[in-house]
Amino acid sequence: MKELNYTVKEINHNYKIKVSGIYEGQRVNTLVGVRGFMNFVSDVDLCNRLLDRAFNSMEDVCVCNLRRGIKISFYVC
């Protein structure tokens, strides 16, 4: 089983993760933890790519739009 490239402590220490959009027919606009983020994305490789993108970003917020209508925002703490 594949794992994340970053620890949960490291992710939660650096970012607040917000998920918005339409998920399974329901409108979503909420802050989530790492487990909630992984449940929404449901692919460890994609989670790692999104986290790499957020950690390499120099902005205060990194917004990632998925094709299925979900927008994930990583806010720097």
Render pLDDT for 3-54 as a digit per residue (tens, 0 to 9): 999 999 999 999 999 999 999 999 999 999 999 999 999 999 999 999 999 9
Q: How many structural domains does the chain have?
A: 1
Helix boundaries (H) for 1-77? 8-14, 34-41, 44-56
Q: How far is CA 16 from its chain centroid?
A: 9
25 within some domain: yes
3 within some domain: no
Domain of 31 in residue numbering reads as 8-76
State the pTM of this model: 0.92
30 within some domain: yes
The values of phi and psi at residue 37, to 5°, are -60, -45
60 within some domain: yes
2 within some domain: no
Instruction: Specify the pairing of strand 26-32 against strand 61-65.
Output: unpaired
26 within some domain: yes
1 within some domain: no
DSSP β-bridge partners for residue 27: 22
**pLDDT at residue 68, rounded to an integer:** 87
